[in-house]
A and B are shown apart, each in its own frame.
Chain A
Amino acid sequence: MTLFSRLGPKGTIALAVVAAFLLLAVLAPWLAPFPEQGAGAPNIAEKFLPPMPPHLLGTDHLGRDMLSRVIYGGRVSLSSGLLIVLVSLAVGLPIGMIAGYAGGWWDEALMRLTDVFLAFPALLLAVLMAAALGPGLLNAVLAVAVTWWPWYARMARAEVLTLRSQPYVEAARLMGVSNSRILLRHVLPAALRPLSVQAAMDVGPALLTASALSFLGLGALPPTADWGQIVDAGRKFFPERWWYSVAPGMAIFVLALAFAALGDALRDGEQKDA
């Protein structure tokens, strides 16, 4: 079965949208119509132009081309979404694997630790952390990851618990293979598959949370553009200069929608396999 028939028409469109956003972000300096403005250079003479060529999405209060700003903002927003998931995975996966494999006291202690983090309303904990760490892209990523890793820890633990009783793992243990080797060679690869599907589905929500932080002024610092931050900057001029906030707002919406649809398609595909 090919990837496309697995994803179905909706999933394929979603994948295309995600790919397009990724491409725009990576190739921003070449694809954005006004790269210097996208990177933050002001152009006061042309401020608040409504959408029309050559500024297809209008210009902002400093006369910068909105399309270029949104394309450049995508670099920050997309990478923060991806980083949140990767950092959380990097923290949650080992913790969950240790808890599941070691069992007993370790398991209890680590799982109660996840309970504490999960007991926080996620966005509020992220706000608390971001405020403590100070604004900035990496700090925002860390702040969200703090609320995110326990989910992966729990998933990894559940996977390890089922894998631990598999015959080939038992056999390896009986043959005297070391624990760390069993975890790395046998358990990790098998646990990674379901977790990576989940992680792919989580990029959308991670992106939404990151953009919420940046909307609150806790994300990337100007003049670096970031979608949530641009929406907030445009709020002062909304709805008269509607394009200012609508362009980045729609970008977040469309990308999150594409990730959600892609996630649904992936999950349906897995079910079809089962």
Chain B
Amino acid sequence: MGLGRYLLRRLALSALVVLGVTFLVFVAAQVVPSDPAALYAGPRPTAAQIEKARAELHLDAPLPERFASFAVAMASGDFGVSYKSRRPIAQDLRAYLPATLELAAVSTLLALIIGIPAGAMSAARRGSWFDRAGGFGAIAAVAMPTFFLAMLLQAIFAQSLGLLPLSGRLSREIAISAPLETVTGFTLIDAVLAGRFDVLRDAAAHLILPALTLAAYPAGIAMRLTRSAMIEILGRRHILAVRALGLSPARILFGHALPNAICPALTILGLSFAYALTGAVLVEIIFAWPGLGRYVSEAVLSKDFPVIAAATFVVTLCYVAMNLVLDLVQALLDPRVALQ
């Protein structure tokens, strides 16, 4: 299969997946709840209110027609109105999505920075104390419940040591007295754009604990994957060849062996980002992070299905898009992937 055909097939597959995802979300949000109209009509609705809601939501239309209009609405970014706040959901998403993406990006970066070098070092010193300790650390990071780790980190670094802020995205003083102009929605970037380094510092301090919490699991996975990939690579002949040419162990490990691990590294990147996107549901409530995750978990409690559906849909789109990009990058870097 050529690269072009691979690309086409991969795109078609993604389109199919998005359609399937839309359908599942539709079923979960519009069909499964016992009576969406009753939910929409508010607390203790009268029969007339429910009928009115049913008409407003077009719930009386046949299912295929409802799915079609649902799909069209989703595609055009019209996610409807929140049952609870009655605000347009699209508007909320615009505010919350960047916060979640920022958190996910930083935690992914942390996971890679911690996990990949640690895995490479473990592979280079197989059986050493570093390898053993790292192996335990990796498995512990994978077994730690995210929400519990979040609470422990909060208790240690914020409540006991007072080193880092407990929760939120920015300090109240900054948010109130000198608010940051929203350009991209990413606080770190907006702060740099505005030249506000006090805000940058504050935003970074707020990011550390939630990002670290989300990074733990993927860092553990990254370490284990990198270790096994590197053990295989270090046994290859070209590594022996450069050793026999007198290159230093560090240059061999990071300059020659690690670049061969680009495929596992991309896999790790995908896993980390996906984990961060979903783990956000847990971490954002604990750290009061104003992102999609918290938005969803609040919607869950109030059974606000359009919100859950829209957020699930948007996050899944991010996820599908990222997987598509990663697959294409991988196919470009290593043409053998496209041939499968």
Residues of chain B having any CB pair with chain A under 8 Å: 13, 16-18, 20-21, 24-25, 28-29, 32-33, 139-140, 142-148, 151-152, 154-155, 159-160, 274, 277-279, 281-282, 285-286, 296-297, 299-301, 303, 305, 308-309, 311-312, 315-316, 319-320, 323
> Is residue A122 within 8 Å, beta carbon to beta carbon, of the partner chain?
yes
- Chain B residues, CB < 8 A from A260: 139, 142-143
Which of these, A119, A127, A218, contacts B323 with CB under 8 Å?
A119
CB atoms of A253 and B148 under 8 A apart: yes
CB atoms of A132 and B32 under 8 A apart: yes
Known: A238-B151, A260-B142. 17 other contacts (CB 8 A): A119-B17, A119-B21, A121-B274, A124-B312, A128-B24, A129-B28, A131-B305, A131-B308, A132-B32, A208-B143, A212-B282, A216-B297, A217-B301, A245-B148, A245-B151, A249-B152, A253-B148
CB atoms of B145 and A120 under 8 A apart: no
Look across to chain A and name the residue whose beta carbon is closest to the beta carbon of B159. Answer: A239
Inter-chain CA distance A261–B143, complex, in Å, is 10
- Contacts A131-B308, A256-B145 given; does A121 touch B315 at CB 8 Å: yes
Distance (Å) between the CB of B122 and the closest chain A CB?
Answer: 14
- Contacts A116-B17, A133-B32 given; does A215 touch B282 at CB 8 Å: yes
Inter-chain CA distance A119–B140, complex, in Å, is 27
Residues of chain A having any CB pair with chain B under 8 Å: 112-113, 115-117, 119-125, 127-133, 204, 208, 211-212, 215-218, 228, 231-232, 235, 238-239, 242, 245, 249, 252-253, 256-257, 259-261, 264
Inter-chain CA distance A131–B144, complex, in Å, is 25
CB atoms of B146 and A212 under 8 A apart: yes
CB atoms of B151 and A128 under 8 A apart: no
Inter-chain CA distance A128–B22, complex, in Å, is 13
Which of A119, A212, A245 is packed against the most chain B CB atoms within 10 Å?
Answer: A119
CB atoms of B278 and A122 under 8 A apart: yes
CB atoms of B297 and A252 under 8 A apart: no
Inter-chain CA distance A264–B17, complex, in Å, is 33
Q: List 25 A-B contacts (CB under 8 A).
A: A113-B20, A115-B13, A115-B16, A116-B17, A119-B17, A119-B20, A120-B21, A121-B277, A124-B316, A127-B281, A127-B300, A128-B24, A128-B28, A128-B29, A131-B299, A208-B143, A212-B145, A215-B145, A231-B147, A232-B147, A238-B151, A239-B159, A253-B143, A256-B142, A257-B139
CB atoms of B143 and A249 under 8 A apart: no
CB atoms of B140 and A257 under 8 A apart: yes
Inter-chain CA distance A161–B68, complex, in Å, is 38
- Chain A residues, CB < 8 A from B152: 249
- Contacts A228-B147, A231-B145, A253-B148 given; does A128 touch B282 at CB 8 Å: no
